[in-house]
Structure 1
């Protein structure tokens, strides 16, 4: 099932979770796709902090439920990175689109956001920064992007 998460910094994203996933397993998915360390995450549902050992059934989380994500930037050394949001410019066929993203956002997340704008499957998109293709599993911070960095989008055929 899909749930929506709202980070305290204002960014919203969705993740796919299982009907019996524990809170810890949800945090692992957030770490994998958003790059936020598990130790820095607190999940809130219906106004209550969620306990790692409990599962979605305990909290009665359903498809399209909404949770809040609080990021404790003191829990590790990358606090500034977790808060850092940059404005990016995307170019495809002479069209320019701007939107904000956190440096901890994965390339695959960016593709998902662009997919909605272009009505193209995410696996058909190639993102290029400074002439190099960006890899899905990496985050923006890995590429040292800054405000108004230009990322070129190309439609490619899936393998």
Structure 2
């Protein structure tokens, strides 16, 4: 077995594969974990783009672990996606763009849910999202689940 660290965004999953898995198998596992469609993925190891039909054992030269860089092809400009928001108070879909910032999404939630923006913290795969970064930095794609943590303030504070 080989443990691969998938680098390239703010979320860095680790995926275990066999030496006989192909890069396509790895891309399928990445799709399962991150939701990124196989056709949008480019994987690079040691400054070389990995091909779908290559076996892991030929790409990492027999190591037990390695870091592979994932690049995600952007959607056409202006394309909207639907994300699934979930909190203890509410849940539901919201349309946004992968290029929108985390702060933009938080502001949309504020307007739609009637909450103060400063009370909202967003998480993707247990990683707190930095408001200055684009949603794409967290591999937010169509259908992505985003956890919304809401801190309720007492009146007068």
TM-score bracket for this pair, using the shorter chain length: 0.5 to 0.7
Q: Specify the SS of the correspondent of 1:70.
A: strand
Larger radius of gyration: 2
Is the counterpart of residue 4 in structure 1 residue 5 in structure 2? yes
- The one-character-per-residue Cα deviations of 1:56-114 (angstroms, maximum 9, x if unpaired) are 11112522200100000137x6593388657536xxxxxxx972283649xxxxxxxxx
Is the counterpart of residue 88 in structure 1 residue 87 in structure 2? no
* Distance in 2 (alpha carbons) for counterparts of 1:83 and 1:14: 26
* Distance in 2 (alpha carbons) for counterparts of 1:150 and 1:65: 34
TM-score, normalised by the number of residues in structure 2: 0.54
Gaps of 5+ in 2: 82-95, 104-120, 131-137, 151-157
Structure 1: which 4+ aligned runs deviate by more than 4 Å? Answer: 82-87
* Distance in 2 (alpha carbons) for counterparts of 1:99 and 1:20: 35
C-alpha spacing 1:103/1:65, structure 2 compared with 1 (3 Å): closer
Gaps of 5+ in 1: 90-96, 106-137, 152-159
Residues 2 and 17, structure 1, Cα contact 8 Å, conserved in 2:
yes
1:73 paired residue number? 74
Residues 36 and 139, structure 2, Cα contact 8 Å, conserved in 1:
no
Q: Specify the SS of the correspondent of 1:12.
A: coil
Q: How does 1:11-26 map to 2 (within 5 A)?
A: 11-26=11-26
* Distance in 1 (alpha carbons) for counterparts of 2:14 and 2:7: 9
TM-score, normalised by the number of residues in structure 1: 0.53
